[in-house]
Copies of this chain bind each other. A is one copy, B any other.
Amino acid sequence: MTLKIALAQTNFLVGNINANMDNIVNAAVYARDTLGAELIVFPELTITGYPAEDLLLRADFIASANNALYQLAERITDIALVVGFPEQDGDKRYNSAAVLHHGAIIACYRKQALPNYGVFDEQRYFTAGQQPCVFELNGCFIGLSICEDVWQDGIIEASKQAGAEILLTLNASPFNLGKISQREAIICKQVKAAQIPLVYVNQVGGQDELIFDGASFVSNAQGEIVFRAVEFQEQISVVEFEHNQPIKSSCAPLYDDIAGVYHALVLGIKDYVRKNGFQGAILGLSGGIDSALVLALAVDALGADKVEAVLMPSRYTQAMSIDDAVLEADALGVKHHTIPIEPAVTAFTGMLADLFSGSARDTTEENIQARCRGVILMAISNKQGKLLLTTGNKSEMSVGYATLYGDMAGGFAPIKDVPKLLVYQLSRYRNSLSPVIPERVITRPPSAELAPDQIDEDSLPPYNVLDPILERYVELDQSAEQIIAAGFRQEDVARAVLLVDKNEYKRRQSPPGIRITSKAFGRDRRYPITSGYKGI
């Protein structure tokens, strides 16, 4: 008794129900005709894409998704499909998986564990299901589960007790550093305990701040992975089951941490540009490491012909910054323009001279420079229909070392969740593939170049001190006391914590960026702006 199950690791556009339906049909036809599959499993909420957020509160949206499901059942025969959809039942909505076979819906499962933490808001949209669902296909008894279900104790076991011999899991499990090994370890442990083979299908692609990494897999009843799909790419693959046991197949290797993040960022840029219909991307190239990395990522994501770099030197820009920026643009084959900002800075200084007479120079004047660059970049973006990529990193976003509407201007911030030390590691990784970022960009002390001889360390603790403090405070929610007890200097901790706390207002207006840590700014970390809480 054999069964061929296809895993559809697909990259769908949220909300694009009609196109998603066509893609489901195409994938099923390929699985049936080319791979010989008898069953194909799609990711969580296949029809709408994940997360559809408050689109799920629109009656017309839910009706479209449900209509699409019924039509789908009639559009394809000779292969069973498992697809996720938002199921409306009276005034309740469920995160469901339907089994379509011979033109009918032969089973429907409602997700039981609804995550409502971190980036997840599922209890905003869905009611929890209460029971397992097992269907029969070619003599096999197959259980259904959805994402969070298999991270929790009891649900896999209950499905087995309901008669399941194989368990399918539909997923939309977002990437972060270390997530894939964590995911496989936790789920395989559950599988091993329950002694039931598992088919895990994850979606792939970028959706606003989230990256879905794919890395779908099949585990045997012993919790051993016998098949793994590639990371960060679409893939339709098939695994054969004999007497309900999966036959060992190919296991795509996993990237190491740094390479994994790099590929996640490339996919994030690619999908944001593609899915939002931009002609390409532009960015300000300063000669510093952040914009150097973003340029390399953008070119790897979109191709050199879709990317333009703009150099905007000021009186504080060192010659080596310009030289290095040009070197990298040329190495990558990217068109670049140079627009000195002096005329605009002079204009604003003159316009404000009366009002500011008698006031000392302060960060206002630095911000004006950054904002002149913002105006130029946005003008080019507007004129050319290209997405402006913002080049700030997570360390800066954490402590507010960035100018609102200045260097923070842009539609998408690829490395917004990448701490500075990781920016260096990613740059070295990229250069290990082919040398594109000039060595001096990596080795010189980082500087905003908004004042004479300015370097970041004038205003901030060194990044090898700052980044671990930020990780503890932001990602791990440790108190200042705990961080100091871990061996950090009181004054460094106090400074970092104070800056994080008081810069929530800047983060609230920052462009979306790609989440690659376990806690990104954005919907992952929801802090009040108005707050009397003192972290220290």
Interface residues of A (CB under 8 A from B): 13-17, 19-20, 49, 51-55, 57-61, 116-117, 121, 123-124, 206-208, 271-272, 275-276, 337, 339-341, 343-344, 346-348, 350-352, 355-356, 359, 362-364, 367-368, 371-372, 374-376, 378-380, 382-383, 404-405, 409, 411, 477, 479, 481-482, 505, 508-512, 523, 525-533
Residue ID in chain B nearest A382 by CB atoms: B364
Whole-angstrom CA separation of A529 from B124 in the bound complex: 19
- In the bound assembly, the distance between CA atoms of A524 and B430 in angstroms comes to 41
Q: A480: nearest residue on chain B (CB-CB)?
A: B60
- For A523, the chain B residues whose CB sits under 8 A away are 526
Which 5 pairs, one residue from A and one from B, show the smallest C-beta to C-beta distance?
Answer: A16-B532, A15-B533, A60-B479, A405-B405, A347-B347
CB A172 to nearest CB in B, in angstroms, measures 13
Write the nearest CB–CB distance from A270 to chain B, whole angstroms: 12
User: What are 8 A-B residue pairs whose CB atoms fall within 8 Å in the complex?
Assistant: A15-B531, A59-B479, A116-B121, A207-B528, A208-B528, A275-B530, A364-B383, A378-B404
User: A124's closest neighbor in chain B, by CB?
Assistant: B116
Residue pair B348, A379 in contact (C-beta under 8 Å): yes
Expressed in whole angstroms, the minimum distance between the Cβ of A373 and any Cβ of chain B is: 11
User: Which of B57, B344, B405 is the one whose CB lies under 8 Å from A344?
Assistant: B344
State whether A371 touches B364 (Cβ < 8 A): no
A405 near B378 (CB under 8 angstroms)? yes
Instruction: Write the chain B residue with the least CB distance to A350.
Output: B343
Verify A346–B348 contact, CB threshold 8 A. no
Contact between chains at B14 and A532 (CB < 8 Å): yes
Least CB distance, A289 to chain B, in whole angstroms = 25
Which residues does chain B contribute within 8 Å of A508, judged by CB atoms? 511-512
A13-B532, A116-B123 are known; give 20 further A-B pairs, CB within 8 A.
A14-B528, A15-B532, A16-B532, A20-B532, A55-B527, A55-B533, A116-B116, A207-B528, A208-B529, A272-B530, A276-B505, A339-B351, A343-B350, A347-B347, A352-B379, A352-B380, A364-B383, A367-B378, A368-B379, A375-B405
- State whether A477 touches B276 (Cβ < 8 A): no
Chain B nearest CB from A46 CB (Å) reads 14
Q: Which residue of B lies closest to A387 (CB)?
A: B505
As for how many copies of this chain the complex holds, the number is 2
| Chain B residue nearest in CB terms to A409 | B405
Q: How far is the CA of A20 from the CA of B117 in the complex (A)?
A: 28
Please determine whether B207 and A530 come into contact, CB atoms closer than 8 angstroms: yes
A381 — nearest CB in chain B belongs to which residue? B364
Give A272 Cβ to nearest chain B Cβ, in Å. Answer: 7
A364 vs B380: C-alpha distance in the bound complex, in angstroms?
8
Report the nearest B residue to A345, measured CB to CB.
Answer: B347
Residue of B nearest to A355 (CB): B337
Whether A13 and B59, one on each chain, are in contact in the complex, defined by CB atoms closer than 8 angstroms, is no
Given A352-B379, A532-B13, A481:B60 Cβ within 8 A = yes
A347 touching B343, Cβ below 8 Å: yes
Contact assessment for B55 and A14 in the assembled complex, using a CB-CB cutoff below 8 Å? no
How far is A207 from B58 in the complex, measured between Cα atoms in Å? Answer: 28
Determine the chain B residues whose CB is within 8 A of the CB of A49 once the complex forms.
532
Shortest C-beta distance, A336 to chain B (Å), equals 11
Contact, CB under 8 Å: B367 / A382: yes
Cα–Cα distance between A303 and B432 once the two chains are bound (Å): 61
Q: Which residues of B contact A378 (CB under 8 A)?
A: 367, 371, 404-405
User: Which of the residues B121, B355, B368, B510 comes within 8 Å of A375, measured between beta carbons?
Assistant: B368
In the complex, A124→B122 CA distance in Å? 10
What residues on B are CB-neighbors of A363 within 8 Å?
382
Contact call B379/A61, Cβ cutoff below 8 A: no
A59-B479, A512-B508 given; A375·B348 CB < 8 A: yes
User: How far apart are A502's CB and chain B's nearest CB, in angstroms?
Assistant: 9
B382-A375 in contact (CB<8A): no
Contacts of A404 in B (CB 8 A): 378, 409
- Among A121, A344, A523, A533, max chain B CB count under 10 A is at A533
Kindly state the separation between the CA atoms of A54 and B348 in the bound complex, as whole angstroms: 40
Q: How far is the CB of A57 from chain B (nearest CB, A)?
A: 6
Q: Are A477 and B123 in contact (CB under 8 A)?
A: no
Look across to chain B and name the residue whose beta carbon is closest to the beta carbon of A361.
B383
* Nearest B residue to A352, CB-CB: B379
CA distance A322 to B362 in the complex (A): 31
What's the minimum C-beta distance from A255 to chain B, rounded to whole angstroms? 24
Query: Is A351 a contact partner of B343 (Cβ separation < 8 A)?
Result: yes
Query: Which listed residue, B20, B55, B530, touches A276 by the CB 8 Å rule?
Result: B530
Q: Which of B54, B276, B525 contacts A529 (CB 8 A)?
A: B276
Q: What residue of chain B has the Cβ atom nearest to residue A15's Cβ?
A: B533
Q: Are B379 and A364 in contact (CB under 8 A)?
A: yes
Contact B512 A510 (CB under 8 A): no
Decide: A371 near B375, CB < 8 A? Known: A61-B533, A529-B208: yes
- Closest-CB distance, A403 to chain B (whole angstroms): 9
